A = this chain, B = another copy of it.
Amino acid sequence: MSVTAPRGFRASGVAAGLKSSGARDVALVVNDGPDASAAGVFTANRVKAAPVLWSQQVLRAGLVRAVVLNSGGANACTGAPGFQDTHATAEHAASALAGSADDGPAAGTAAGAGLSTIGAGEVAICSTGLIGERLPMDRLLPGVTAAVAGLTADGGPAAAEAIMTTDTRPKTTVVAGTGWTVGGMAKGSGMLAPALATMLSVVTTDAIAGPAVLDEALRAACRVSFERVDSDGCLSTNDTVLLLASGASGIAPTQAELTAAVTEACRDLARQLIADAEGASKEVAIEVVGAADSDDAVLVGRAVARNNLVKTALFGNDPNWGRILAAVGTTTAAFEPDRIDVAVNGVWVCRSGAAAEDRSKVDLTGRQVTIRIDLHAGPDEATIWTNDLSHAYVHENSAYST
């Protein structure tokens, strides 16, 4: 049920003609309340797309009543005109939603009442697709109108489909609390895709929670989920994760309960991203243990995840631990080179920085790969998820000007 699993949300996904394939390309998620609390996490890339700049402003007030998402165009590196396009989209959505609340079937409800006064400043925008080109507003705005008309309480799956780019399947999740629920959707091919690399996610809950509580829950969740997925180290201009709370369950979980549920939802979505990464033949978990601190563990895991020589070796079913050690050696993490142990799929091919068990014992024929690196430098650990580097990756990212 995606983002519409929790009470208080409606969603839709329509085809507006942004994608040449004719597939759904505009999604709308509406929070009917009674609350409209929200939090957001955005790309760390300093080149930020117009919708990211817009949504960061919207989130400052901690109040979001609707999210418009489009595939088929990132609206990044489009200058002031691109920002105006995003603003116009939010204005159009707010106006259409207010109109539908006045006239439509939802009119008498609390939800309708909330939306009848909705302003553009309460509408977050997310875009994904090619960088550097303006969005075709003559198609997008009618698409938003259609998305408003199509809103339903079971529209979550259609919305999840509309945000897909090179994804081969929609990614959704539902996590049950005690009397309240977290739902979510995401798109992105584990950052493996080209200019389509953007990761977008909307997570919803009917729990009662204010913006500060949501913000803490979302940041904690992202740190151990989306931020630990590193497929090719390429950071998009558009990455956005939003958390919306309707309060419709009437239940206010503790911070810890909410954080746990949001974390579970984000982890589930993150793993789905890696599993669907374009051109990947392996899903790789890099478990770094024995680190002096958590930052060191993440640093080492990322260095290995981003190393093209490690990634191509995995594609070739080669447990090349020497490349792994060489990648670890490029970091500033605390470790002694002659104390590091490395296991590939459970076989400790490297002990104390030198060859140990016979590498021919390692079975790399399956899709799941676990690399375990023991730094012997402390008590902390972290897991980074990544993919191999395959011919299909090169093909996908070179053959299409996307």
Per-residue CB proximity of A365-402 to B under 8 Å, as 1/0? 00000000000000000000000011101110111110
A350 touches B77 (CB 8 A): yes
* Neighbouring B residues of A118 by C-beta, 8 Å: none
A47 at the interface (CB under 8 A from B): yes
* Neighbouring B residues of A322 by C-beta, 8 Å: 74, 76-77, 130-132, 195, 237
Per-residue CB proximity of A112-141 to B under 8 Å, as 1/0? 000000000000000000111100000000
The chain B residue sitting closest to A79, CB to CB, is: B354
The chain B residue sitting closest to A335, CB to CB, is: B46
Cβ of A53 to closest chain B Cβ, rounded Å: 10
Cβ of A130 to closest chain B Cβ, rounded Å: 7
Asked if A320 meets B354 with Cβ closer than 8 Å, knowing A308-B397, A326-B236, the reply is no
A212 at the interface (CB under 8 A from B): no
A329 at the interface (CB under 8 A from B): yes
| Separation of A325 and B82 alpha carbons in the complex (Å) | 16
* Neighbouring B residues of A48 by C-beta, 8 Å: 329, 337
- Interface residues, chain A, with chain B CB atoms under 8 Å away: 44-48, 74, 76-79, 82, 130-133, 194-195, 197, 232-237, 306-309, 312-313, 315-316, 318, 320-323, 325-331, 335, 337-338, 350, 352-355, 389-391, 393-395, 397-401
Residue pairs across A and B with Cβ atoms less than 8 A apart, 24 shown, are A45-B326, A45-B329, A46-B331, A46-B337, A47-B326, A48-B329, A74-B322, A77-B322, A77-B354, A79-B353, A131-B320, A131-B323, A133-B355, A194-B313, A195-B322, A233-B308, A234-B307, A234-B327, A235-B330, A237-B329, A316-B400, A318-B401, A389-B394, A390-B398
